[in-house]
Amino acid sequence: MMNRRPTTVEGGFYPQLNQARHVQECAADDFVLGLALGDELSPRKGRGQPQGLNLEKLTAAGGPRFLGDADFSDSRGDSDCRAHQPLRVSVDWGGTITTLLVGQPHLDKREYRVLKGLYVKHPAFINDLVDAFTAYYSCHLRREIEFLADEEHGDARRPDSEFTLNESLMAAFRKKGWRIQRYGLGRIPGHATRYLLAQELLGEQNPSLLRIRFNKVNCKDVITAMLLAPVSQDSKGRIVKVKASEKKASFPAEHATHFTDNVDLHLLSCGTDIVNAQVDFGQLGVFSS
């Protein structure tokens, strides 16, 4: 028991995150039932008799449970994914892990849905990440991506390529038949602004703001990373997100703060009114839950 890794940190960078409110089950029951009925009604090869329920396939529709298991999961099994709308994507470029987070605004419900987190670990990189995304969203009707580009890191020139990381990612998506355009976040603000933004959006005190909702199954690593993200203040009293976990080899990279930077980009995309407000972020203190 003494060696168990903590599942949250007190206070943290996202103290308003409430799993009971913000994290939801989003299984598309109709799709799963369709798998069952499809197998039940289709004849066996060469016999013309119903196959009956294929429990193995139904189980695999929820994703592999063990290494080597078949994976029939795709976005059709997600009730929170609207196939006729574009997907909003952010990428965090890490040395040991590259993380991608998918979201979608549902303006009619006043919600911003965080749909799925994906990642690849070194030496896998851009093409592997794009392959994972396009496989999962292969049945998405509108193959269009709004790219929340991190211009500071993703637009930096690479010594081994004539293209930046963001350019390489966009080219890989286009090669797969997806349209992709930058969303236009501009320069990403500092931690104090992002901390305030998360407080406002997750606090849900302003009815004019979108409510943030996470897919429980597809975002479990994302939620864990948020719960484990510490907050501190620098020597000048400014809020900082403590990112020491990214440098610890013993710490699972998918639970380090990489995914939280993805989350920040999505929050920025639907919280511009807060960011543009005339607030002295330098004097912002740390809140406690």
Strand partners, 231: 241
Which pLDDT belongs to residue 63?
55
**Which domain-ending residue is among 60, 77, 94?**
77
Residue 283 lies in a domain: no
C-alpha distances (whole Å) from 81 to each of 72, 104, 206 are 17, 8, 25
Same-domain pairing of 134 and 272 = yes
Count the domains in the chain. 2
E-strand ranges in 107-249 read 111-121, 144-148, 179-182, 211-215, 231-233, 239-241
Q: What is the C-alpha to C-alpha distance for residues 283 and 38, in angstroms, rounded to an integer?
A: 60
State how far Cα 279 lies from the chain centre: 28
Which pLDDT belongs to residue 8?
66
C-beta separation of 115 from 216 below 8 A: no
Same-domain pairing of 110 and 224 = yes
Condensed to tens digits (0 to 9), the pLDDT of residues 168-195 reads 999 999 999 999 999 988 788 999 999 9
Residue 12 lies in a domain: no
Residue 45 lies in a domain: yes
Which pLDDT belongs to residue 175?
98
Which pLDDT belongs to residue 30?
75
Same-domain pairing of 135 and 237 = yes
Condensed to tens digits (0 to 9), the pLDDT of residues 107-135 reads 999 999 999 999 999 999 999 999 999 99
Which pLDDT belongs to residue 41?
41
DSSP 8-state secondary structure symbol assigned to residue 168: H
Domain range for 236 = 19-26+79-278
For the chain, counts of helices (H) and of strands (E)? 10, 9
Residue 87 lies in a domain: yes
Residue type, 8: T
Same-domain pairing of 94 and 116 = yes
Which pLDDT belongs to residue 42?
45
Same-domain pairing of 124 and 47 = no
Integer-rounded Cα radius of gyration of the chain: 20
Residue 129 lies in a domain: yes
C-beta separation of 80 from 255 below 8 A: no
CATH number at residue 244: 3.30.420.280
Q: Is the peptide bond before 123 cis (omega within 30 degrees of 0)?
A: yes
State how far Cα 263 lies from the chain centre: 7
C-beta separation of 77 from 61 below 8 A: yes
Same-domain pairing of 121 and 226 = yes
Same-domain pairing of 94 and 73 = no
Same-domain pairing of 44 and 116 = no
Same-domain pairing of 253 and 120 = yes
Closest Cα partner for 155 from 145, 147, 165, 170?
165
Residue 181 lies in a domain: yes
Same-domain pairing of 260 and 199 = yes
Same-domain pairing of 169 and 265 = yes
Residue 8 lies in a domain: no
Per-residue pLDDT of the chain (289 residues; tens, 9 = 90+): 444 555 666 779 999 999 999 999 998 877 766 665 554 444 444 455 445 555 555 555 555 555 455 566 899 999 999 999 999 999 999 989 999 999 999 999 999 999 999 999 999 999 999 999 999 999 999 999 999 998 888 998 888 889 999 999 999 999 999 999 999 887 889 999 999 999 999 999 999 999 999 999 999 999 999 999 999 998 888 999 999 999 999 999 999 999 999 999 999 999 876 776 645 444 455 554 4
Longest CA–CA separation in the chain, Å: 77
Strand partners, 211: 111
Residue 214 lies in a domain: yes
Residue burial 197-225, b: 16+ Cβ < 10 Å; e: rest: bbbbbbeeeeeebbbbbbbbbbbebbbbb
Which pLDDT belongs to residue 57?
55
Which pLDDT belongs to residue 15?
96
Same-domain pairing of 108 and 64 = no
